[in-house]
Structure 1
Amino acid sequence: MRLVADLEAGSMVANGLIVMTWNVENLFRPNSADTSAAETYSAKLSYLSGLIRGTGADVVALQEIGSPEAAEDLRAALGETWQAVLSARPDHRGIRVAVLARHPLTEEAQITALPPAGLPAVPDVDGQTLTQLGRGAVQVHVDCGDRGLRLVTAHLKSKLLTYPGGRRYPLNEDERARGAGYALLRRGAEAVALRVHLNDVLAASALDGQPGVPTILCGDLNDGPDAVTTVLLEGPADGDVHHPDKGDSVRLYNLGRRLPAARAYSRIYQGHGELIDHILATRDLQLRLISIDSLVDDITSIGASTRSREAAIVPDHAPVVARFAGS
């Protein structure tokens, strides 16, 4: 893979930092009696750990970790110095987000509720009221020198539609339209919950008069960079990153806007490249950004069916990797 060599060289920058976000697609430890699945799992762990090590990543935000055991298997494959923090709230399938780092790692928050300051009363397709994120987000502190790094990783509601009772097909076109609306409402409420959480965290850092902790929000947001659900996570708009203003304390910059044009996607769906895996960062990190890339060389196009993916070794999402200069 072309970018691995470039990023390995970048990892030698004194006091630099390399951050990756990656949806690793249903990483479940298989039943020990299923020999074929065990072989696939072993090969997938080797692929994931080899690519992560090859980039020289300091911290990796992961989505679609299937169990604590799977997270531990990947952590162990990376080596003894690596640490892991997992979300305590998986979805109904058992998948969750996690963070791995080769520096000391501290869990700071489990983000699970739709807060009162956000959108706390969103209807769902079964006529109930949502009060929780479908998949919890997690906030960690990475002790990687100086002030370290604050990182939040999330996996927002997908665009896959469900209908009352868990049905995967609509009874009529009115129900299809409602299903799409409910999915959008849920993803929007989850994005607002993250933004409200970050407003509190970032504003608190600004109030103490000390330099804020460099902060990243990343993960599978299931929308493109210009979708409302993604843009609202950036906070107040900025006219010029080189001129500080009153919005800097809570603003995030979507680093994906600086991806190389030919690689500005992280998944290929029905032949169309789409950027749904994002790294958003505070101003200090935006100014220190050396490069960002999506390592798309190995991924292939997928469709709506997941059955054909059961034996896949390479995930359906590409890892997005950002490299920063030292502070």
Structure 2
Amino acid sequence: MANDLVVMTWNVENLFRPDDTDTAAAETYAAKLTYLAGLISGTGADVVALQEIGSPAAAEDLRAALGEAWQAVVSAHPDGRGIRVAVVARHPLTEEAQITALPQAGLPAVPDVDGGSLTHLGRGAVQVHVDCGGPGLRLLTAHLKSKLLTYPGGRRFPHNEDERARGAGYALLRRTAEAVALRVHLNDVLADAALNGQPGMPTILCGDLNDGPDAVTTVLLEGPADGDVHRPDKGDAVRMYNPGRRLPPARAYSRIYQGRGELIDHILATRDLQLRLASIDSLVDDITSIGASTRNREAAIVPDHAPVVARFAGR
């Protein structure tokens, strides 16, 4: 990477291609694509991790709005609502892995709300290689379980307070199991190079992690704790850093929920990239506060999450 590298993560909120017969929805969709493409282009982003893409067709529409030089890779494993993650980049992209299973080395026996055991991430993650010069960049994007609760049979309301407590516990267990699955995957791909005595490929994990920077689920994704990024140690081979800790305090959030800013969209980077971090920002100027109900969001053009953008200096 001889030039600076600009990486963005953005939950674009239910980007579904509308039915052709719904004129109002089609106009909103077109305006939203214009807004998304304009903001992405305006940042000079090289690669963008996306969450809440409604279909491969929607990802293709956004890629086309960005221009012919852009490429896209889309998850083949959406959740029950049909939303999935994707990556778009102005550089050649190669799909490396669709990450879906909870590995045996992780937490493979977590109960689900219906009495069974979880076997897969609720929304599959994707790993790509970005050919942006030198060894390139390995990038993973994920969208972990939200704090929205569901109950047996897909109910959105509990029958009693015991069930509410269990529902909250199940949601936390799922998000934890998903985070551990990603960490186990990172252990594998990052440690392989170290075992072979090779320099590790610059690696980024990003997405909507649905937890703040100090939550256990976020911190465990960083790997071994580090006292000083400038002092090499044996944990460097698998360690990740959260540049979001260096966001300007007044902009250290990516969503406003019921009037309170929260940073739940993250970019985690390996040590070589952390040492080259030039800037990071959360582009919060356009977002507004949201509540638990999403009914008033159907005609929204600006997503409810702000994009987080990191710039890494070239070598």
TM-score (norm 2): 0.99
For residue 74 of structure 1, what is the aligned residue in structure 2? 62
Q: Kindly provide the amino acid, as one letter, of the partner of residue 4 in structure 2.
A: G
Pick aligned residue for 2:257 from 245, 265, 269 = 269
Deviation readout 1:191-220 (Å, 9 max, x if unpaired): 000000000000002122221110000000
Asked if 1:282 is matched to 2:294, the reply is: no
Deviation readout 1:119-157 (Å, 9 max, x if unpaired): 011111110111000000000000000111000000000
**What's the offset of the Cα at 1:43?**
0.1
Q: Kindly provide the amino acid, as one letter, of the partner of residue 248 in structure 1.
A: D
Pick aligned residue for 1:322 from 302, 305, 310 = 310
Pick aligned residue for 2:72 from 78, 84, 95 = 84
Deviation readout 1:293-324 (Å, 9 max, x if unpaired): 00000000000001000000000000000001
Deviation readout 1:20-68 (Å, 9 max, x if unpaired): 0000000000000000000000000000000000000000000000000
For residue 7 of structure 1, what is the aligned residue in structure 2? none
- In the aligned structure 2, how far is the partner of 1:205 from the partner of 1:15? 24
- In the aligned structure 2, how far is the partner of 1:43 from the partner of 1:306? 19
Aligned to 2:267, the other structure's residue is in SS state strand
How many residues align? The count is 315
Asked if 1:200 is matched to 2:188, the reply is: yes
Aligned to 2:104, the other structure's residue is in SS state coil
Deviating above 4 A after TM superposition, structure 1's stretches of 4 or more consecutive aligned residues are none
- In the aligned structure 2, how far is the partner of 1:17 from the partner of 1:277? 19
Asked if 1:128 is matched to 2:116, the reply is: yes
Q: Kindly provide the amino acid, as one letter, of the partner of residue 18 in structure 2.
A: P
**What's the offset of the Cα at 1:267?**
0.1
Pick aligned residue for 1:294 from 276, 279, 282 = 282
For residue 257 of structure 1, what is the aligned residue in structure 2? 245
- In the aligned structure 1, how far is the partner of 2:177 from the partner of 2:164? 20
Q: Kindly provide the amino acid, as one letter, of the partner of residue 169 in structure 1.
A: F
**What's the offset of the Cα at 1:104?**
0.5
Equivalent pairs: percent with the same residue? 87
Asked if 1:137 is matched to 2:125, the reply is: yes
Contact 2:96 2:129 survives alignment (8 Å) = yes
For residue 24 of structure 2, what is the aligned residue in structure 1? 36
For residue 3 of structure 1, what is the aligned residue in structure 2? none
For residue 9 of structure 1, what is the aligned residue in structure 2? none
**Shift in CA distance, 14/197, structure 1 to aligned 2, threshold 3 Å:** closer
Pick aligned residue for 2:45 from 52, 57, 63 = 57
TM-score (norm 1): 0.96
**What's the offset of the Cα at 1:160?**
0.1
- In the aligned structure 1, how far is the partner of 2:162 from the partner of 2:244? 36
- In the aligned structure 1, how far is the partner of 2:22 from the partner of 2:259? 32
Equivalent runs, 1:104-253 vs 2, <5 Å:
104-253=92-241
**What's the offset of the Cα at 1:14?**
6.0
Q: Kindly provide the amino acid, as one letter, of the partner of residue 18 in structure 1.
A: V
Deviation readout 1:140-197 (Å, 9 max, x if unpaired): 0000001110000000000000011111011100000000000000000000000000
- In the aligned structure 2, how far is the partner of 1:14 from the partner of 1:284? 14
